[in-house]
Chain A
Amino acid sequence: MEFVVAVAQVNPRLGDVEFNLDLYEERVRAARARGADLVVFPELSLSGYFLKDMVSTVALRIDAPEIARLRTLSRGGAIVAGFVEETADYRFFNSAAYLEDGEIRYVHRKAYLPTYGLFDEGRYFARGDRIRSFATQRGQSAMLICEDFWHPSAVYLVALDHALLVICPSSSPLRGVSDDREQDDNARYWELLIRMYAQTYALFVVYANRAGFEDGVGFWGGSEIVDPTGARLAKAKYYEEDMIVAPVNLKAARRQRLAAPLLRDEDLDLTIHELVRIRDRQGAGGDDAGK
């Protein structure tokens, strides 16, 4: 399965969905002109990231006219959009939608909401309760939003759930300066993670980060498309808007999985057994690790 992936590394306007929808349309046209089939946008790029009390005012129901505009935009290809999703029972999720040929294929709701340091997501969002892969015309895929990807268990689950392509929309802030690194510490750590997962699980990772500043917090950009050997197929500029485009052939996973059949050899029963034991021991009033 071969197709062309683009990442639109944008700088959306905080709280202005209409403006950001226009930005989406413009970038999708630009990506299509460069041959892209799948165009991936960053986390919450329809609304901006540090929303605070704006969460409820920029939220979209899945049947909202704005989502209909995105569906139309996805005709003849696919788009991954990041937005605040409002449910019928008035919960708000940090969501990513995979839209393909005018239809919504899948919506992932961010499961791990960072609520520490400069992050406050747990205050404003409900927590997603599913981590799954899904079928698309372009192969079995999965979406993990930013912090989800920092949990090895999340990537492990989608890899076992047959994803060959993991899409990670992100709004990752730059922070931490070191003397010996050209980029900030956060950028370096992400790149290490992306490469490690891609190679370990033998799958493609499409990382879509944003650029720009919100209240002085900068986003480091540096989006990338990494293949199952850990090689970078495309890399966006750091710290500014950009677009990257690269052809992806999912069959590349085959060679890597032949060379190192780690997923085949995963012992699910062993893992489940140990997880249940660990959970029960913690639930029974204390972790007596080491005994």
Chain B
Amino acid sequence: MVASRDTSGGRVPIPTNPALLRRVLTGFVANEVRKVGVERVVVGLSGGVDSAVSAMLAAAALGPTNVLAIKMPYRTSSPESLEHADAVIAVAGIESLQVDITPQIDAYFARFPDADNMRRGNKMARERMTILYDHSARWRALVLGTSNKTELLLGYGTLYGDMASALNPIGDLYKTQVWALARAIGVPPEIVDKEPSADLWSGQTDEAELGFGYREVDALLYLMVDLRYSRAELLAARFAAPFVERVSGMVRGSQFKRRLPVIAKVSARTIDRDFRYARDWGR
């Protein structure tokens, strides 16, 4: 049990305690990486705040020379994204590498020219994943995750793409908390303050695509998930019914993305169902 916050109805601000989060999350990275017998991580740096925070936490935990940031632009990626990624590399003093994914993406879609933005975006996210895992093998490193709790809950990510990693320090932080932590650990302000974007196509912004703002949805998700408010309590806290329905539907509808593939049970011990071991088995 944890001493509970006041839940006597109404909205409750999401707590952020950057000093404590920084301490816990750097401890997490150092501990979970080293127990595997390696010292290093690779991280895809997009120029956004999430990957900036993950990379800087890893640099603090493992030392900057043990973090390899890979920039993986596509020809339509915004030049500003690369500048921002370079700013993080400079501030954190980490190793870096640039791999342009344009040739492999364009070669593939030359065969499927009618593919829409979503297919193209997902393909790019998965190409980037294969590059990160390739370099993790080359560099004896683990792939560091950069998905925050908001996008994981909403399913706003590509399965086996940007959602794939070996360990993720920020997966239990809402976007609002990532922003607060970013400011506290010295992520350049232009990265924290800019409009969030997956930068999968020109002019894309997360909030335009989702149809709501991160602060509003975080406020809702925090009450819904962390404090387990009922629908009636959420309405009493002045969230509009259609918004509550839409977000609940997104969380429910994306549950498959947060689980391993479903396995048909035939034996007495099926992986993950009645064959249960920690990932840190023997470590």
Which residues of chain A have a CB within 8 Å of any CB of chain B?
Answer: 11, 13-16, 48, 50-54, 150, 174-179, 181-186, 188-189, 212-216, 218, 239-240
The distance from the CB of B170 to the nearest CB of chain A, in whole angstroms, is: 12
The distance from the CB of A45 to the nearest CB of chain B, in whole angstroms, is: 15
Chain A: CB-nearest residue to B282: A15
Q: Does B276 lie within 8 Å of A52, measured CB to CB?
A: yes
Q: Does B1 lie within 8 Å of A150, measured CB to CB?
A: yes
Q: How far is the CA of A202 from the CA of B282 in the complex (A)?
A: 41
Q: How far is the CA of A52 from the CA of B178 in the complex (A)?
A: 32
Dominant secondary structure at the A interface: loop
Q: B23 — which chain A residues lie within 8 A by C-beta?
A: 239
Q: Does A13 lie within 8 Å of B17, measured CB to CB?
A: no
Q: How far is the CA of A176 from the CA of B31 in the complex (A)?
A: 20
Q: How far is the CA of A51 from the CA of B31 in the complex (A)?
A: 18
Q: Does A218 lie within 8 Å of B27, measured CB to CB?
A: yes
**Residue among B19, B28, B278 with max Cβ neighbours from chain A (10 Å):** B278
The distance from the CB of B195 to the nearest CB of chain A, in whole angstroms, is: 26
Q: Does A176 lie within 8 Å of B3, measured CB to CB?
A: yes
Q: Does B17 lie within 8 Å of A214, measured CB to CB?
A: no
Which residues of chain B have a CB within 8 Å of any CB of chain A?
Answer: 1-3, 5, 15-17, 19-21, 23-24, 27-28, 31-32, 35, 167, 275-283
The distance from the CB of A220 to the nearest CB of chain B, in whole angstroms, is: 9
Q: Does B278 lie within 8 Å of A215, measured CB to CB?
A: yes
Q: Does B278 lie within 8 Å of A213, measured CB to CB?
A: no
Partner of B283, one of A14, A177, A179, A183: A14
Q: Does A52 lie within 8 Å of B278, measured CB to CB?
A: yes
The distance from the CB of B4 to the nearest CB of chain A, in whole angstroms, is: 9
Chain A: CB-nearest residue to B24: A218
Q: B20 — which chain A residues lie within 8 A by C-beta?
A: 177, 181-184
Q: B281 — which chain A residues lie within 8 A by C-beta?
A: 14-15, 54
Q: Does B24 lie within 8 Å of A239, measured CB to CB?
A: yes
> Given A213-B27, A213-B28, A213-B32, do A175 and B2 touch, yes or no (CB 8 Å)?
yes
Q: B17 — which chain A residues lie within 8 A by C-beta?
A: 177-179, 181
Q: A212 — which chain B residues lie within 8 A by C-beta?
A: 31
Q: How far is the CA of A168 from the CA of B275 in the complex (A)?
A: 31
Q: Does A185 lie within 8 Å of B277, measured CB to CB?
A: no
Q: B277 — which chain A residues lie within 8 A by C-beta?
A: 52-54
Q: How far is the CA of A186 from the CA of B3 in the complex (A)?
A: 7
Q: Does A216 lie within 8 Å of B2, measured CB to CB?
A: no
Chain B: CB-nearest residue to A150: B1
Partner of B282, one of A14, A175, A189: A14
Q: Does A14 lie within 8 Å of B24, measured CB to CB?
A: no
Q: Does A216 lie within 8 Å of B276, measured CB to CB?
A: no
Q: How far is the CA of A50 from the CA of B279 in the complex (A)?
A: 10
Q: Does B283 lie within 8 Å of A13, measured CB to CB?
A: yes
With A216-B167, A218-B31 known, 17 other A-B pairs at CB within 8 A are A14-B282, A15-B281, A50-B278, A52-B276, A52-B278, A53-B275, A150-B1, A174-B24, A177-B15, A177-B17, A177-B21, A178-B15, A179-B16, A182-B20, A184-B24, A186-B2, A213-B32
The distance from the CB of A236 to the nearest CB of chain B, in whole angstroms, is: 15
17 A-B contact pairs sorted by A residue (CB < 8 Å): A13-B283, A14-B278, A15-B281, A48-B280, A52-B276, A52-B278, A53-B277, A175-B2, A177-B21, A178-B15, A182-B19, A186-B2, A212-B31, A213-B27, A215-B278, A215-B279, A218-B27
